[in-house]
């Protein structure tokens, strides 16, 4: 049983979306965008995949090359609001978007994963007129790097342009806050932070002052970037960044992650089975140690000192291998382990394994696209949602809204006077570069960005918080 409320805000006109490519990311987008009431047309060259998806969802399917002018016409490009190209080919994705912009001025989003293109993403986006360029492997690498900067956390997500963090942790038996209520914690520590949500026995609760912390609770809170380590220490969690990291697998995600870690002066060792890839990594990552070998070989992991490494990240590209490597690392070391999983099946089994920090690249990508799609659906402008992330296996949404003049019905009024939906809280306001943790007497003003945490689903405008 889950504490998820499948309530939706007031109905808005559906977006007409064309999704080109039906791999893992394409399937995730179909699932979420359909659930939010959008009109979806799926384009893929594999007829069996199109047939399967149109059988599962109320969508239109087209078999063909998404970069073809005729195929885009058949898919209804002249009526489309958004085209999302997520095939396995970066070049095809960019071509799909270019054709769509030439045929019809709809918004376009392309998945681009190759490092050479990613380094030029701003140039490509601007010159080709793309709404967004997404890179699942790069997003996953950034997520993992955030986690390794705070190894005691299960999840770390930046908000307010990096000035604040949403942190998710598991309370162990020794946590000093076990037996406290949220109100008692706030009274004792007076930290600049707010608890948002707590998961207990697979049921998620939006935090209130009477909630009593217990062992094994999974707690999410928002705090300023500067105060995050102090807040973690009060909860009884170590917060120092790791000094070294052992990575198994030398693919794109490993490459992006290594770049980030080396820039933060974290020693990196990569085990990769393909010799040609090892040579590439040695040239591109001169400060990293590259080992040619099988990262699933237990004796090799022992030889490369898995037992004493501070962080271990399996990035083999095979979920089952990553999971087994994670379980092994948890047995033989005290390393911070982050597991990358590309599929999202057997959720109950994965949950029972207690893998700790798990990163799902396709859902990181889907969140960014959903944020854009919701904002575009809410209005002709596309900047109403700054950030969107989902917690507790999509049971909770954390959305950062930009406040403009269209939100006049809630601005300038004390928050306690607003008639808000239940199961919702406002833990953060960013104003003129400063982070505020609002009380009931505080107000929302034009120009703010406001974070909302809720078990409701599908908010696309700050006004959706009103009952």
In tens, the pLDDT along 259-282 reads 999 999 999 999 999 999 999 999
What mean pLDDT comes out for the span 441-458?
Answer: 93
- Do 327 and 405 lie in one domain? The reply is no
CB atoms within 10 A of CB 314: 27
Assign 9 a pLDDT band (cuts: 50, 70, 90).
Answer: very low
CB atoms within 10 A of CB 334: 12
Q: Is the per-residue pLDDT at 383 higher than 80?
A: no
- Do 8 and 117 lie in one domain? The reply is yes
H-assigned helices in 173-318: 182-189, 228-235, 252-263, 275-284, 298-303
Q: For the domain that residue 51 is a member of, what is the CATH number? A: 3.40.50.720
Name the residue among 126, 123, 133, 65 with its Cα closest to residue 99: 65
Mean pLDDT score of the chain: 89
Give the per-residue pLDDT at 5: 35
Looking at the structure of the chain, the number of domains it has is 3
- Do 7 and 130 lie in one domain? The reply is yes
Give the per-residue pLDDT at 25: 87
Please indicate, yes or no, if residue 367 is contained in any of the structural domains. Answer: no
In order of 93, 108, 169, 348, 428, the CA distances from 353 in angstroms are 37, 39, 17, 9, 33
Q: Is the per-residue pLDDT at 138 higher than 70?
A: yes
Please indicate, yes or no, if residue 196 is contained in any of the structural domains. Answer: no
Tell me which residue has tokens 């889950």: 2
Give the per-residue pLDDT at 1: 25
- Do 422 and 318 lie in one domain? The reply is no
Please indicate, yes or no, if residue 16 is contained in any of the structural domains. Answer: yes
Q: Is the per-residue pLDDT at 301 higher than 70?
A: yes
Please indicate, yes or no, if residue 143 is contained in any of the structural domains. Answer: no
- Do 308 and 432 lie in one domain? The reply is no
How far is the C-alpha of 362 from the C-alpha of 359, rounded, in Å? 9
Please indicate, yes or no, if residue 356 is contained in any of the structural domains. Answer: no
User: Residues 32-81: pLDDT tens digits?
Assistant: 899 888 999 999 999 999 999 999 999 999 999 999 999 999 999 999 99
Structure tokens at 231: 């807040």
Could you say which of 283, 299, 332 is where a domain stops?
332
Q: Is the per-residue pLDDT at 394 higher than 90?
A: no
Please indicate, yes or no, if residue 360 is contained in any of the structural domains. Answer: no
**Which three-class secondary structure state does DSSP give residue 15?**
coil
In order of 138, 145, 257, 310, the CA distances from 266 in angstroms are 18, 10, 11, 10
Could you say which of 290, 315, 332 is where a domain stops?
332
- Do 8 and 110 lie in one domain? The reply is yes
- The H or E element spanning position 167 is strand 164-170
Please indicate, yes or no, if residue 94 is contained in any of the structural domains. Answer: yes
Phi, psi of 251 (to 5 degrees): -80, -165
- Do 10 and 92 lie in one domain? The reply is yes
Tell me which residue has tokens 């095939």: 87
Q: For the domain that residue 456 is a member of, what is the CATH number? A: 3.30.70.1450
Determine contact, residues 19/40, Cβ cutoff 8 Å. yes
Phi-psi category of residue 108: left, alpha or beta, with phi > 0 → left and psi -120 to 50 → alpha? beta
Please indicate, yes or no, if residue 357 is contained in any of the structural domains. Answer: no
- Do 124 and 12 lie in one domain? The reply is yes
User: Residues 322-335: pLDDT tens digits?
Assistant: 999 999 999 999 99
Minimum mean pLDDT range among 138-152, 215-229, 359-373: 359-373
- Do 125 and 5 lie in one domain? The reply is yes
Domain of residue 408 covers 397-465
Residue 382 C-alpha from the chain's centroid = 19
Q: Is the per-residue pLDDT at 99 higher than 50?
A: yes
- Do 3 and 120 lie in one domain? The reply is yes
How far is the C-alpha of 246 from the C-alpha of 304, rounded, in Å? 8
Could you say which of 99, 116, 134 is where a domain stops?
134
pTM for the full predicted model: 0.84
């Amino acid at each position: 049983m889950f504490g998820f409320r499948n309530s939706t805000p007031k109905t808005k006109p559906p977006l007409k979306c064309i999704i080109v490519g039906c791999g893992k990311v394409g399937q995730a987008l179909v699932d979420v965008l359909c659930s939010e009431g959008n009109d979806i047309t799926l384009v893929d060259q594999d007829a069996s995949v199109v047939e399967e998806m149109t059988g599962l969802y109320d969508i239109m399917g087209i078999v063909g090359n998404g970069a073809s002018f005729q195929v885009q016409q058949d898919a209804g490009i002249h009526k489309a609001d958004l085209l999302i190209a997520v095939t396995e080919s970066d070049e095809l994705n960019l071509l799909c978007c270019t054709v769509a912009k030439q045929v019809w001025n709809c918004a376009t989003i392309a998945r681009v994963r190759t490092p050479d293109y990613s380094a030029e993403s701003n140039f490509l986006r601007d010159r080709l007129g793309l709404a967004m360029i997404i890179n699942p492997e790069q997003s996953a690498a950034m997520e993992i790097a955030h986690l390794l900067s705070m190894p005691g956390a299960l999840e770390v997500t930046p908000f307010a342009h990096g000035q604040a963090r949403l942190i998710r942790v598991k309370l162990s038996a020794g946590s000093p806050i076990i037996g406290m209520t949220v109100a008692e914690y706030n009274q004792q520590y007076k930290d600049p932070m707010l608890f948002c949500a707590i998961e207990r026995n697979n049921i998620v609760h939006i935090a209130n002052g009477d909630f009593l912390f217990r062992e094994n609770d999974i707690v999410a809170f928002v705090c300023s970037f500067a105060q995050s380590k102090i807040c973690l220490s009060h909860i009884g969690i170590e917060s120092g960044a790791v000094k070294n990291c052992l990575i198994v697998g030398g693919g794109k995600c490993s490459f992006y992650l290594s770049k980030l870690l080396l820039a933060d002066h974290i020693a990196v060792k990569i085990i990769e089975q393909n010799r040609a890839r090892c040579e590439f990594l040695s040239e591109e990552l001169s400060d990293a140690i590259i080992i040619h070998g099988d990262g699933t070989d237990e004796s090799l992991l022992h030889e490369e000192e898995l037992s004493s490494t501070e962080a271990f990240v399996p990035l083999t590209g095979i979920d089952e291998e990553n999971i087994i490597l994670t379980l092994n690392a948890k047995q033989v070391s005290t390393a911070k382990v982050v597991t990358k999983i590309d599929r999202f099946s057997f959720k109950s089994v994965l949950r029972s394994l207690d893998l700790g920090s798990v990163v799902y690249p396709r859902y990181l990508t889907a969140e960014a696209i959903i944020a854009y799609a919701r904002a575009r659906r809410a209005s002709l402008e596309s900047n109403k949602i700054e950030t969107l992330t989902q917690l507790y296996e999509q049971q909770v949404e954390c959305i950062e809204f930009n406040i403009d003049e269209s939100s006049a019905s809630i601005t300038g009024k004390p928050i306690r006077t607003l008639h808000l939906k239940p199961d919702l809280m406002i833990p953060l306001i960013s104003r003129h570069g400063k982070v505020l943790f609002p009380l009931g007497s505080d107000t929302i003003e034009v120009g703010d960005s406001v974070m909302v945490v809720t078990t409701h689903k599908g908010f696309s405008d700050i006004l959706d918080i009103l009952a």
